[in-house]
Amino acid sequence: MCQTKNNKVIYRVSSYLFGYKSLFASTLLLACAMTILSVMAPSVIQQVLDKVLVSGIGNGKILLQGIVLIAAIFFFKELLNCFRIRINNKLEQKVIFLLRQDLHNKLLRLPVTFYDRRKSGDISSRVIEDVQSVERAILDGTEQGLISVLTLLGVSIMMFLQEPRLAALVFIPLPILTWMAIRHAKISKENWRAVRDKSGDLNSLLVEDIQGNRLIQSFGLMQREKNRFAEIAEALKYFSLRAMYRWSIQGPCASFTSSLGILGVVGMGAYLLETDPSFTTGQFFAFLLYANMFYEPIRQLVGINNLVAAGKASGERVFEVLDAPIEIIDPTSPYAFPLDCHEVTFSNVSFSYSERSPVVKNLTFKIAHGSTTALVGPTGAGKSTIANLLLRYYDVENGSIEIGGTPIDQITVDELRSNIGIVPQDPFLFDTSIKENLLLAKDSAQEIELWHALETAHAREFVEALPRGLDTLIGERGIRLSMGEKQRLTLARAMLKSSPVLILDEATASVDVATERQIQIAIQKLIKTRTTLIIAHRLSTIREADNIIFLENGKILEQGSHEELLRLNGAYANFCSLQENIVSN
């Protein structure tokens, strides 16, 4: 996985903030105005105190005026704070929205190899939690950081103007505090990265446990899952505590070091009050307030360091996704998908998944235009891989694949895939109405067309019997469909998508004989007008194919029609007799 450089993370998230220049500038301006009011307050207090002390404690009018003035300063400061918080929240939500949208867009375009290597829970934790964390760190970091730096500057100037000797004292702990902050940032970034990674692992486990709930119950895997959960949650707790403990050392150490500075001011200030008549009580009081105000932003900067360290760790995880390469590249001057001839040709095709021995080896075969080829063979022979290569989920390592004489890597991925229909083994349907699931294949389809497709797929009857017909919700929010019903809906969907080439990954899940027969008829209707590649399991489907390829270890062992292959009395004939035995048993 590529490592995004720290500074790059900050720079890149900042570029999202700069997209909203006026909001960003407003929040910073309000922060500046608040800081000016804060820095002014002790000086006003000093003047009020000195005036009251000089004119006698009994001068209630001056005291009252002074208190009203100070109260007004505090009031305006908090009023500005109220606006600042609102603008800050708005900006934050806008940037989070943009970042999440970019991530989602990228996830939709990423190649299947990206998903092969990652767990879905971890990916979703990057989109949901990490985006929030990195954004908060950068926005708060910039804003609070600016307030702190401005306060430091303002307070330093005021202190030197008031009494340079005391001001110099306040600066003594500064190098120690800076060194502590830099060290803390380095260590805590590593801690926070571990926290974020473990949180991603925990999310992945939850997704697996929810999706595999039935399996877990039927295999009695509860204890195993409890142990796995405890192990990851324990690791998350361990790393979170490590990150927090680190802060528990840093925070108090920084506070203690700054208290020593204040102590120095108290001692030296008391001495000056005794020995230097030009140094007033009001100045001493204001100086103590300034000294306190000086260390507060330093403490805050250290806190921001902690926040930014966590944010950087999250930022790395966000940008790892945004920077992941789109491996399947479109040609610079693409050809259109061939109109008339859809003959599929594999010529000397070899392919291996990363770090594995070749799965498909020097494969050469043809599917004649409008014909059906069935891929048959043991599990792991490479049948699905061939379908994946035709859809360009992966690119071939050697050789070429052509449709109608055009190499598929010379057609844009979108155009290629929109011309290849697919009926997957797992009949995936979205959690919405039947109608919307069908419209995915052809959004302009009229209802009459939908019913026609359902009829051809032998699905009309059961859809008509549903409470709201085509508008019935299916999936988690709606009714559950049986496996056979889902299969027929995916067939109807493929019917609607009038793609000239079709890949049909025949489902192995068993359905009753009558349903199987209906599915069989639907399949025959579907493939009649298309150039079809079937990953076949049922003898009834295989027999009907124009050409059968028996595959083993990524190589073609036998090829021909059903009768031809039976006459060979080899691997295919053996496969058929095994199938027949299974059926008769």
- Spatial distance between the Cα atoms of 532 and 497, rounded to a whole number of angstroms: 14
- Spatial distance between the Cα atoms of 324 and 1, rounded to a whole number of angstroms: 8
118 binds ligand ADP (CB under 6 A): no
Stretch that binds ligand ADP, among 33-41, 191-199, 249-257, 373-381 (CB under 6 A): 373-381
Strand partners, 473: 433
* Residue 315 contacts residue 9 (beta carbons within 8 Å): yes
**CB burial readout 115-129, b (16+ within 10 A) else e:** eeebbebbbbbbbeb
E-state strands within 260-377: 344-351, 360-367, 372-376
As a three-state string, the secondary structure of 480-526 is CCCHHHHHHHHHHHHHHCCCCEEEEECCCCCCCHHHHHHHHHHHHHH
Judged by beta carbon, residue 360 or residue 429, the one nearer ligand ADP is 360
- Cα 98 to the center of its chain, rounded Å: 13
Choose, by CB under 6 A, the member of 272, 302, 328, 381 that binds ligand ADP. 381
Sequence-distant (6+) residues with CB within 8 A of 70 are 41, 44, 45, 48
Distances (CA, A) of 460 to 238, 451, 491: 56, 7, 12
Judged by beta carbon, residue 118 or residue 383, the one nearer ligand ADP is 383
Stretch that binds ligand ADP, among 87-95, 258-266, 383-391, 509-517 (CB under 6 A): 383-391
Distance in Å, CB of 259 to ligand ADP, minimum: 59
Q: Which of 342, 441, 356 is nearest to 394 (CA)?
A: 356
Judged by beta carbon, residue 409 or residue 505, the one nearer ligand ADP is 505
Type of residue found at 531:
T
Strand partners, 579: none
Judged by beta carbon, residue 451 or residue 550, the one nearer ligand ADP is 550
Judged by beta carbon, residue 1 or residue 29, the one nearer ligand ADP is 1
Distance in Å, CB of 125 to ligand ADP, minimum: 22
Judged by beta carbon, residue 22 or residue 379, the one nearer ligand ADP is 379
Choose, by CB under 6 A, the member of 152, 304, 359, 463 that binds ligand ADP. 359
Stretch that binds ligand ADP, among 121-129, 253-261, 379-387, 483-491 (CB under 6 A): 379-387
As a three-state string, the secondary structure of 202-269 is HHHHHHHHHHCHHHHHHCCCHHHHHHHHHHHHHHHHHHHHHHHHHHHHHHHHHHHHHHHHHHHHHHHH
321 binds ligand ADP (CB under 6 A): no
116 binds ligand ADP (CB under 6 A): yes
379 binds ligand ADP (CB under 6 A): yes
Distance in Å, CB of 12 to ligand ADP, minimum: 30
Choose, by CB under 6 A, the member of 198, 312, 383, 493 that binds ligand ADP. 383
Paired sense of beta strands 344-351 and 398-403, if any: antiparallel
Stretch that binds ligand ADP, among 232-240, 256-264, 293-301, 382-390 (CB under 6 A): 382-390
- Cα 208 to the center of its chain, rounded Å: 17
Considering only residues 429 to 458 of the shown chain, the ones binding ligand ADP according to CB under 6 A are none
- For residues 24 to 63, the per-residue mask of contacts with ligand ADP, x marking binding by CB under 6 A and - elsewhere, is ----------------------------------------
357 binds ligand ADP (CB under 6 A): no
Type of residue found at 43:
S
164 binds ligand ADP (CB under 6 A): no
Judged by beta carbon, residue 356 or residue 480, the one nearer ligand ADP is 356
Distance in Å, CB of 552 to ligand ADP, minimum: 9
382 binds ligand ADP (CB under 6 A): yes
384 binds ligand ADP (CB under 6 A): yes
Tokens of 555: 């190589």
356 binds ligand ADP (CB under 6 A): yes
- How many alpha carbons fall within 13 Å on the CB side of residue 99? 31
Tokens of 320: 């790892």
Distance in Å, CB of 110 to ligand ADP, minimum: 14
- For residues 168 to 197, the per-residue mask of contacts with ligand ADP, x marking binding by CB under 6 A and - elsewhere, is ------------------------------
Tokens of 351: 């392919």
581 binds ligand ADP (CB under 6 A): no
Stretch that binds ligand ADP, among 23-31, 374-382, 467-475, 506-514 (CB under 6 A): 374-382
Residues that bind ligand ADP (CB under 6 A): 116, 353, 356, 359, 377, 379-385
